[in-house]
Structure 1
Amino acid sequence: MTMIQCISPVDGSVYAERPAMSAAQAQEAIGRARQAQKAWARRPLEERVQLVLRGVARLNEMVDEVVPELAWMMGRPVRYGGEFRGFNERSNYVASVAAEALAPLHIEDSASFERRIEREPHGVVFVVAPWNYPYMTAINTIAPALMAGNTVVLKHAAQTLLVGERMARAFVEAGVPQDVFQNVFLDHATTAVLIAEGLFNFINFTGSVEGGRAIERAAAGTFTGIGLELGGKDPGYVMEDADLDAAVDTLMDGATFNSGQCCCGIERIYVHESLYDAFVEKSVAWVSNYKLGNPLDPETTLGPMAHKRFADTVREQINQAVAQGARPLVDPKLFPADDGGAYLAPQVLVDVDHSMEIMRQETFGPAVGIMKVRSDDEAISLMNDSKYGLTASLWTQDPERAGRIGRDIETGTVFMNRADYLDPALVWTGVKQTGRGGSLSLLGFHNLTRPKSYHLKKVTK
């Protein structure tokens, strides 16, 4: 029997483990989900919406268990209170627009014809969720999928092993039928087999580029719909008219919060030459104020990375950049908790360029490179010099300029004077190797349903 383990970054211990399901056990669970789906879809929309919101509320009641559990599993300090703010905001928003998003499109209703397009649920939706924001990323798909009439099978990352179990428990306790929302523990090989057998009607995956490729390979020839949110290397651009202090505060937070393990975290920054020196000085001071330590300590502001191997990747990128001429500006002596393992001090690097991995490859840790630029054209060229495209953060007092630059950036979302935020009213999507499809907003419902046309002739002649 294969055991799936969560190794805690807090102390390296096995925090939780569960037996992986066999292919036969998983097939049985998916079969139950399929059998339950039609009856679930026949329930009134408002009933489904309210049951989902009750599940959200029930999970909120578990806050005292969820917050320290997250700290143990992936290292986020307890002082930040888990993910309930974003979790609730996203759930409430999709609930508020569900009726509009799923409403039929009426083309004709005359004495002779009724013609309309309806949104029909796919059936069984498979959600493969990541560890970095395990509740918020999962609810992006789970809430609208259930509201739209799908059943959901959830597989969570091993690093946050208990999240799926807790979510399914909360929703079932709130009244969602057990077969409608199921959590499963699967190894990669069994997951690939289930996908290849075409057992799911839609798959949503959030994770690495290689993970996305594995999903696509497994699904090849099944014609299963797939939504992918993969890697990122999100840029910030600080123009000469930016509010300097606001830019430093937001971009440094975006680069280092959650130990830099954010899908839309800031990973590279371009600053106009007139503000460059001041921006760098203030950024180093900002980052140096972190307290790195045990995430269960309420005084800790920066916890360990989720796993030692993730921290090793960041250290390797920093060391390579320094060997190529980059300068690290944050004094490591300020962070005695950096143990060479999962606990990693934040870093700001200058004298960087795009020959260095830290400016081109996903870092996913609390380190950021800053480059000086002389013009919008130079900044646009550098921002687009990436195989990823999730968000870009523009800092200026001029919305027209931001819009003009935004149209030239290859990205899914353009921010002005903010960063590292997911607005549930706007579709969350990416380009290039960041993935395809989109979640949340009205369009998110469309990805979780399919159009079905009705052409009804009322007369026989």
Structure 2
Amino acid sequence: MTETLKVISPVDGSVYAERPLADWAEVDGALGTAKAAQAAWKLVPIAERASLCLRFIEAFLAMKDEIVPELAWQMGRPIAYGAGELRGFEERARYMIAIAGDALADIDAGPKEGFRRWVRREPIGTVLAIAAWNYPYLIAVNSVVPALMAGNSVILKHSGQTPLCAERFAMAFEKAGAPDGLFQVLHMSHDMTEKAIADPRVDFVNFTGSVSGGHAVVHAAKDRFIGIGLELGGKDPAYVRADANLPFAIENLVDGAYFNSGQSCCGKERLYVHADVYDDFVEGFVDLTKKYKLGSPLDADTTIGPMVRASSAAFVRGQIEQAKRAGARALVGEAHFPASKPGTPYLGPEVLVDVNHQMDVMREETFGPVIGIMKVTSDEEAIGLMNDSPYGLTASVWTEDEEAGEKIGERVETGTFFLNRCDYLDPALAWTGVKDTGRGATLSRVGYEYLTRPKSYHLRTRTK
């Protein structure tokens, strides 16, 4: 009997879409056709690969009017912000296409009499991209377009919450004229995904998701010497120094904490504010938080939508209550947001003070619309607290002293360090993390290094 995937919409709890899950015959067929397609694709010049990927971008963006409400129904993002993900998708895709020629160019080993020598970046084979639901197009494009530009074939397995996003990719590649088998979508169960990872026809896995999911991917590949890219949990900190531009810091950190209902890998989850500006910062942060409008993501006036599912909202409520029992104070309260109702995915944003690192809300990933704010008295104290975490994706410092901020950045354990900004992914920079946040990198020139393998050419030009 065929297993079925059901997408429960956070908008109203209805079944928004159903899809049959792939059985092994389907997976086996996809792996075989991907392998055959890649053997031909790796011989295609980079300029022709770029042409296909550019047509894919245009075909994808032409579906904007269907994509934005689909996002709202599948994962709850307000339609007012849906187009932003498409802009980010386009920025990343076009950048990775533009740099591919240089990033994948042969590395000349220099002159040596009687020889020619170089290192070539060879495609790695078939890439299995396993993408998360919270930024379903941005996360997927980080792997898909660079993998294809590098000469690989791609199989995309999207989150069970956002299967239609994977299908939009497939539609766009079909319209772009992609060769059969070069890009494919599979809706798979966890067990089938693990079986695919163990198959010798998968040459690289790029996974975005939970820490436990990352461990499952590594375990599935335990008997294989393949590359695995992991972007996992986060508990991203920010430090506001006494000399920070407070209105600017407040505006950006409120957005960094609550955008996408706090369901962002690089969203701000804990703040450390210097005692000299702590009271003013907290007051301004709370005032701006209270201006959000929680409601249906299909309403154009909604500025914060539901979380992805009721269980996720219940988890966040549990962290808030645990912190309050341990002495934290909530400065907003659910009552401020009439649409916020226990037992549903609708949860209003919250600000907690009097928090400490004995509370889960300051140590464990929340992935929801709540922020803890701690008072600190020095840079040294802030650095110690920022590093007191099992995660490390991004961190930011807010200060008018660029030199001081950069010196702090050198000591913070993180994959990306921001000064006076947060929650943004620049495709020219490697997207990577430390500690339990994972390993590997996507985007930038560095990202291409993980999607290729070096092959050395050592040619003797004279034998006499």
Class of the TM-score when normalised by the shorter of the 2 chains: over 0.9
Measure how far apart 1:110 and its partner are.
5.4
Alignment match, 1:165: 167
Say yes or no: does 1:77 pair with 2:78: yes
Q: Which of residues 352, 362, 385 in structure 1 aligns to 2:355? A: 352
Counterpart code for 2:213: G
C-alpha displacement of 1:197 = 2.6
Equivalent residues in 2 for 1:417-436, closer than 5 Å:
417-436=420-439
Residue type of the partner of 1:249?
E
After the TM superposition, which segments of 4 or more aligned residues of structure 1 sit over 6 Å from their partners? Answer: none
Q: Kindly indicate whether the alpha-carbon contact (under 8 Å) linking 1:345 and 1:366 is maintained by their aligned counterparts in 2.
A: yes
**2:37–2:180 Cα contact (<8 Å) kept:** no
Which residue matches 2:326? 324
Q: Answer yes or no: is 1:35 the counterpart of 2:36.
A: yes
Residue 274 of structure 1 aligns with an amino acid whose one-letter code is: D
Task: Determine the structure 2 residue equivalent to 1:379.
Answer: 382
Per the TM alignment, residue 403 of structure 1 is displaced from its structure 2 partner at its CA by: 1.4
Q: Which residue of 1 aligns with 2:65?
A: 64
Does the Cα contact within 8 Å between 2:71 and 2:82 map onto a contact in 1? no
1:108 aligns with one of 92, 110, 123? 110
Query: Which residue in 2 is equivalent to 1:450?
Result: 453
Aligned 8 A contact 1:198 1:224 in 2: no
Alignment partners' CA distance in 2, 1:443 and 1:429: 10
| Runs of 5+ consecutive residues of structure 2 not aligned to the other structure | none
1:178 CA drift (Å): 3.1
| 1:170-185 equivalences in 2 (<5 Å) | 170-185=172-187
Contact preservation (8 Å) 1:324, 1:356: yes
For residue 388 of structure 1, what is the aligned residue in structure 2? 391
Look up the match of 2:248.
246
When normalised by structure 2's length, the TM-score is 0.98
Which aligned pairs between 1:201-216 and structure 2 lie closer than 5 A?
201-216=203-218
Kindly indicate whether residue 380 of structure 2 is the aligned counterpart of residue 368 of structure 1.
Answer: no
- What does residue 260 of structure 2 align with? 258
Runs (5+) with no aligned partner, structure 1? none
Per-residue CA deviations over 1:260-279 (Å, capped at 9, x if unaligned) read 01110000000000010000
Q: Whole-Å Cα distance in 1 between the matches of residues 286 and 263 of structure 2?
A: 19
Kept in 1: contact 2:334–2:347 (CA 8 A): no
Partner residue of 1:313? 315
CA–CA distance in 2 between the matches of 1:26 and 1:334? 49
* Contact 2:117/2:456, CA 8 A, preserved across alignment: yes
2:328 counterpart letter in structure 1: A
Q: What value does the CA root-mean-square deviation take over the aligned residues?
A: 0.9
- Is residue 2:407 matched to residue 1:397? no
Q: Which moved more, 1:165-174 or 1:376-385?
A: 165-174
1:120-135 matches, cutoff 5 A: 120-135=122-137
Distance in 2 of aligned mates of 1:331 and 1:307: 20
Letter in 1 for 2:247: D
Determine if the alignment matches structure 1 residue 274 to structure 2 residue 276: yes
Residues 378-409 of structure 1 show CA distances to partners (whole Å, capped at 9, x for unaligned) of 00000000000000010011121111111111
CA distance in 2, matches of 1:235, 1:140: 24
**Equivalent pairs, count:** 461
For 1:401 and 1:30, the matched residues in 2 are separated by: 51
CA distance in 2, matches of 1:365, 1:81: 18
The one-letter code of the counterpart of 1:261 is Q
- 2:228 paired residue number: 226
Report the Cα offset of residue 175 of structure 1. 1.5
2:429 partner letter = L
Whether the aligned pair in 2 keeps the contact of 1:272 and 1:375 (CA below 8 Å) is yes
- What is the alpha-carbon distance in structure 2 between the residues aligned to residue 233 and residue 126 of structure 1? 27
- Three-state SS of the structure 1 residue aligned to 2:413 is coil
Amino acid at match of 1:452: K
Report the TM-score when normalising by structure 1.
0.99
